[in-house]
Amino acid sequence: MTTRVPLFIAGEFTQSNSQQWIDVTNPATQEVIAQVPCATQDEMDAALASAEKAFQSWKETPVSERARLMMRYQALLKEHHDEIAEILASETGKTFEDAKGDVWRGIEVVEHAANIPSLLMGETVENVARGIDSYSYTQPLGVCGGVTPFNFPAMIPLWMFPLAIACGNTFILKPSEQDPLTPTRLAELFVEAGAPEGVLQVLHGGKEQVDFILDTPAIRTISFVGSVPVAQYIYRRGTDNMKRVQAFAGAKNHCVIMPDANKQQVINNLVGASVGAAGQRCMAISVAVFVGKAKAWQSELAEALKGVKPGPWQDKNSAYGPLISPQAKQRVESMISKGEQEGAQLLVDGRDYKVEGYPDGNWVGPTFFSGVKPNMSIYQEEIFGPVLCAIEVDTLEEAIALVNANPFGNGTSIFTSNGAAARKYQHEIEVGQVGINIPIPVPLPFFSFTGWKNSFFGDLHAYGKQAVRFYTETKTITARWFESDIEASGPNMSIDL
Ligand code: NAD
């Protein structure tokens, strides 16, 4: 019998009464490995009631106890690291190494959440006026909501609920319906770590369940990660409903290659950053901008990309796995055909890729276009597949102008041995996360994940100090005590001031 993914409501894993179930498939074989429900209205109401009830006691739980929950959770996640990575690999098709990375980057955020007492510290100023002090506290908001994408089913849920809960909130998570087994395991381990009933709920489903989170007034915030159209929809509808919203969206990340860079390092880094994880990373490099004489390196890069072999996650030699679904494969292949029709030079073609023993997998081989122009659809749209587009320019200034004209602003990098060029790039580029000789500059959790422009809608970003501000309200107190009251309190008052 196929596994039916449970909902997690009021501290219990329960089977849904839904009539609507979605198949979860192994993307390397199309085998149905589980079915996930679309939670019913009653189930969503029960999740909300549980989260609201739990908030009343959780917000009063001392911050050091909340920190200790995160310490225990971090230890358990580490203990079960490989087991979670196996579940993750089986439902996403990611290689085992990549799946372990997905889990590890999430564990790091839990580690950060264990520092919550320091992160919550407010500010104080004595004597703002004679005899008057001011100080601020950060207090939790209530029930927070999160909606996550398929491509990092461990890391992205862990960007959200540990910090929100450490701040004293309760949380309703709606994970991607394409890989719900990993977030379910994360919830099981959270219970094992001692999470009190109701602080976390996991509701499954699609648009209807997301709309519940968007439209329910008692859910105070929504954290979203996914595609641009859905992020815009979430931001508009969420803010229209007067919620605090942070919506992380798609990307088109450029890597600028200066002729003074180390050629071999550039090629090695570009291969992994462009087609690794089948290009299904929001920080993947999808555009290589070759400056001046570096243009000549493209044929060597093409040869290196030809040597990259995707395959099943169980095979240690697989460089990356299949795309998440047959629809994703079809979309990526049709984008490749469009690029060819628009006149880009297809130096490596990943269409119709075959992996022995896996005839039904959603494979797309490494793909490399040279001579790409900014008006081509392969440049303008996020492909989200193992496809790298190369553009040639003559100067660093031209490269900067190109990147800044792009509507996305998630990540970018520059490869150079010239400090002045790197400094100019980091200063002038209108992108939120910049790598210098680092192709995928994802910040560690004590910073924040800071995409710009169409890659992010909102003000406060994920994890780091910004997330703590997102999940809390600041209360500022101005206090005066009258010395005359000390004397007024009677003969037993014998404190020397
Ligand atoms: P998606 O937008 O299709 O789905 C994301 C979530 O939204 C899922 O939980 C899904 O059930 C829900 N959803 C889908 N359609 C909806 C609708 N019409 N109304 C309400 N909810 C809806 O994204 P995906 O395919 O799962 O993930 C890939 C995308 O996520 C890519 O565009 C990628 O760049 C982006 N992404 C961005 C970041 C970032 O930090 N900027 C990180 C990871 C992924």
Q: Are residues 235 and 298 in the same domain?
A: no
**CA separation (Å) from 289 to 63, 379, 388, 433?**
48, 12, 11, 17
CA distance 320 to 152: 14
How many angstroms is it from 133 CA to the middle of ligand 1?
46
Q: Are residues 215 and 303 in the same domain?
A: no
Q: Are residues 193 and 83 in the same domain?
A: yes
pLDDT at residue number 497: 47
Residue 360 lies in a domain: yes
Residue 487 lies in a domain: no
Residue 312 lies in a domain: yes
CATH at residue 470: 3.40.605.10
DSSP letter assigned to residue 195:
P
How many angstroms is it from 328 CA to the middle of ligand 1?
13
Q: Are residues 302 and 428 in the same domain?
A: yes
Asked whether the ipTM of the predicted complex exceeds the cut of 0.90, the reply is yes
Q: Are residues 183 and 195 in the same domain?
A: yes
Strand-pair partners of 387: 367
Q: Are residues 216 and 113 in the same domain?
A: yes
Q: Which long-range contacts (CB under 8 A, 24 or more apart) does 431-436 make?
A: 431/253, 431/403, 432/456, 432/461, 433/283, 435/411
Q: Per residue of the chain (497 residues), what is the pLDDT tens digit?
A: 689 999 999 999 999 999 999 999 999 999 999 999 999 999 999 999 999 999 999 999 999 999 999 999 999 999 999 999 999 999 999 999 999 999 999 999 999 999 999 999 999 999 999 999 999 999 999 999 999 999 999 999 999 999 999 999 999 999 999 999 999 999 999 999 999 999 999 999 999 999 999 999 999 999 999 999 999 999 999 999 999 999 999 999 999 999 999 999 999 999 999 999 999 999 999 999 999 999 999 999 999 999 999 999 999 999 999 999 999 999 999 999 999 999 999 999 999 999 999 999 999 999 999 999 999 999 999 999 999 999 999 999 999 999 999 999 999 999 999 999 999 999 999 999 999 999 999 999 999 999 999 999 999 999 999 999 999 999 999 999 999 888 755 655 555 54
Q: How many domains does the chain have?
A: 2
Q: Are residues 269 and 181 in the same domain?
A: no
pLDDT at residue number 2: 83
CB of 148 shorter than 6 A to ligand 1: yes
pLDDT at residue number 486: 86
Q: Are residues 228 and 275 in the same domain?
A: no
Q: Are residues 329 and 361 in the same domain?
A: yes
Residue 207 lies in a domain: yes
Residue-range definition of the domain harbouring residue 272: 253-407+411-436
CB of 256 shorter than 6 A to ligand 1: no
How many angstroms is it from 227 CA to the middle of ligand 1?
4
pLDDT at residue number 489: 56
**Angle, helices 63-79/96-113, rounded to nearest 10 degrees:** 160
Residue 373 lies in a domain: yes
CA distance 191 to 88: 19
Q: Are residues 428 and 470 in the same domain?
A: no
CA distance 111 to 128: 36
CATH at residue 335: 3.40.309.10
CB of 150 shorter than 6 A to ligand 1: yes
CA distance 393 to 378: 18
**Under 8 Å between Cβ of 112 and 463:** yes
Residue 443 lies in a domain: no
pLDDT at residue number 490: 60
List b or e across 89-105, with b for residues whose CB sees 16 or more CB atoms inside 10 angstroms: bbbbbbbbebbbbbbbb
Q: Are residues 173 and 92 in the same domain?
A: yes
Residue 490 lies in a domain: no
Residue 486 lies in a domain: no
CB of 101 shorter than 6 A to ligand 1: no
Structure pTM? Answer: 0.97
Q: Are residues 291 and 342 in the same domain?
A: yes
Amino acid at position 172, single letter: I
